[in-house]
Amino acid sequence: MTALADLGLVDAADAVARREVSSAALLDACLARLEVVNPTLNATIWVDRERAQKAAQAADAALAAGKPAGRLHGIPLAHKDMYYQAGLPCTCGSAIRRDFVPDITCTVVERLSAAGAYSFAGLNMAEFAQNPTGHNRAFGDCHNPWKPPYITGGSSSGSGAAVASGVTYASLGSDTGGSIRLPASACGVTGIKPTQTRVSRYGVMPLSFSADNVGPLARSARDCARILSVIAGADPKDPTSASEPVPDYEAALTGDLRGVRIGVPTNAFTTIAEPPVMAALEAALKVLEGRGAAIVRLDLPLMSAISAYVGVISRAEGAAIHSRWMRERAKDYAPHLSARLYGGYAIPATYYVEALACRGPILKAFAAEVFGTVDLLATPTIPTCLPTLAETDIDHGPPGTEQRFMAVSVNTRPFNYLGLPAASAPCGLDPNGLPIGLQIAGRPFAEARVLKAVDAYQRDTDWHRRRPPVVPA
Amino acid sequence: MEFLATTEAAIAAWHDITPPNDAARRMAADLASTVAAFEAVRGTLRFEDEPSSFEAVLQEVKE
């Protein structure tokens, strides 16, 4: 029998709605799991048990009184600690914001609350969401639940570790260069970065106004679909959010991929992938073929331009956001972060504008060529076997560690520049026993198709159901 | 003047920010690769002078 903490989000929510399990029992299970795994993982920054217990009791009382249940009624959730919730801490994983308590609540958490969920913890993360590994000097590194010396992926490190280990049923992460997909890949869970503008960013710590995205990490495509259905859609408080109607993402999960063409890049993404990662990708493609998909090998256009432009936007915008603190409190940043921010001040405005000005035309040309041929793209999420925290520790490693560090996100960043939806799902284990991720991307606003492909894959595989060794048997 | 020294001087002049550590200097020096990447792309994109809106293209090429 599955432990309560190991239920999927949808299963847990449906069980609460049917009054088969109480919200209080789910919360107790999550908190009990936290007690067991957190000394190893360091996945949380703060926990508010008392507030959460009150919310759980209120959720149970509402059901007992016959009130209608929302799609997430009574579900305890913990999010990356960068989502503003009035009166609750929001450290952004940093010493600089260690004592910050916002007086507003972000739209995405308000929408989760309206659907019946409540928050019980703030999760560890890369400082200011600015690294792909999960290193954190202010609150300690987050550790991989499969093997603690290895990276969790970042920047949503605590989200990946907590979802994988049964601390929370799902978690909001953010993704500017891969920060949802990387921890999803490294920790063996499922995550999706939606189309740029698909989800409101009001009340969410900014890193890069042009490339930031909010999205879920959870244990399956179906669970991600449930969260995304709740949080997506236009928000008057975020004028950059798209007015595109929000489909029922769960309804799209039919398992049928007949007629779906899945492209596998031959000139990028796979060229640098290590053999165990490629073997896992090829095995995943066969599963997708078995569901009816046609696999098409193709060269992707404009990859040199995308590669040139992708880093400039987030570095320049991140540097601008942090300029006051970099002048006044540079020593309060981890060295790897202040080092990264520093270079951003030397990027000429003309480069930044060029990168932004070419973004639309490049997307248009890319979409015309690629999505005229295929519906989705499949790549490894992280092209190498997972590195350890020590191997990617810029603050203490030798010169050259920066390259190992930045290589982690080489396959995720292009989809941020293009603004495309992209998911990561577990598809194997590398020779060290660490998860490998399958990345699937699609056209703008094709989240339903992306999730449909991942769900189809998960119907025939059990990688997403496997639990890391840190979880008690 | 070498690239790093020029870069440090520009950051100091424009932003009043000094290198916080050696890794910052290494990453600033690595901006030379960004320059090279831009130079490699320059002239290869025929649409770079056209006005554009990224959000409009998201809608234009959506599913």
Nearest to B63 among A357, A394, A443 (CB): A443
User: What pLDDT was estimated at residue A365?
Assistant: 95
Q: DSSP letters of chain B?
A: --HHHHHHHHHHHHH-----SHHHHHHHHTHHHHHHHHHHHTTS-TTTTS---HHHHHHHT--
Domains of chain A plus CATH, in order, are 4-465 (3.90.1300.10)
Alpha-carbon distance of A180 to A190, in angstroms, equals: 9
CB contact under 8 A, B20 and A364: no
Fill in the amino acid letter for A359: R
Nearest to B61 among A197, A312, A443 (CB): A443
pLDDT in tens, B5-59: 999 999 999 999 999 999 899 999 999 999 999 999 988 887 766 667 899 999 9
User: Taking the mean position of all CA atoms in its chain, how far away is CA B51?
Assistant: 20
Please list the pLDDT of chain A residue by residue as tens digits (473 residues).
679 999 999 999 999 999 999 999 999 999 999 999 999 999 999 999 999 999 999 999 999 999 999 999 999 999 999 999 999 999 999 999 999 999 999 999 999 999 999 999 999 999 999 999 999 999 999 999 999 999 999 999 999 999 999 999 999 999 999 999 999 999 999 999 999 999 999 999 999 999 999 999 999 999 999 999 999 999 999 999 999 999 999 999 999 999 999 999 999 999 999 999 999 999 999 999 999 999 999 999 999 999 999 999 999 999 999 999 999 999 999 999 999 999 999 999 999 999 999 999 999 999 999 999 999 999 999 999 999 999 999 888 887 788 888 899 999 999 999 999 999 999 999 999 999 999 999 999 999 999 999 999 999 999 999 999 999 88
Q: Which residues pair with A118 in a beta bridge?
A: A76
Structure tokens at A127: 């400082």
Fill in the amino acid letter for B47: F
Q: Which residues pair with A83 in a beta bridge?
A: A204
Nearest to A308 among B15, B38, B60 (CB): B38
**Choosing among A342, A402, A410, A420, which should be mutated to test the B contact, i.e. which has the most B CBs within 10 A?**
A342
Taking alpha carbons only, the member of B47, B2, B62, B11 closest to residue A343 is B11
pLDDT in tens, A273-332: 999 999 999 999 999 999 999 999 999 999 999 999 999 999 999 999 999 999 999 999
Alpha-carbon distance of A45 to A120, in angstroms, equals: 11
Taking alpha carbons only, the member of A177, A84, A86, A160 closest to residue A123 is A160
Where does residue A223 rank: exposed (0-12), middle (13-18), buried (19+ CB within 10 A)? buried
Q: What size, in residues, is chain B?
A: 63
CB contact under 8 A, B38 and A351: yes
User: What pLDDT was estimated at residue A398?
Assistant: 85
User: What pLDDT was estimated at residue B45?
Assistant: 83
Q: What is the dihedral of CA A36, A37, A40, A41, to 10 degrees?
A: -150
**Choosing among A193, A340, A345, which should be mutated to test the B contact, i.e. which has the most B CBs within 10 A?**
A345
Neighbours of B8 (CB within 10 A): 22
CA distance A39 to chain B (A): 31
**Domain layout of chain B by residue ranges:** 3-60
Alpha-carbon distance of A216 to A162, in angstroms, equals: 13
**Shortest CA distance from A244: residue in chain B:** B59
Alpha-carbon distance of A434 to A320, in angstroms, equals: 36
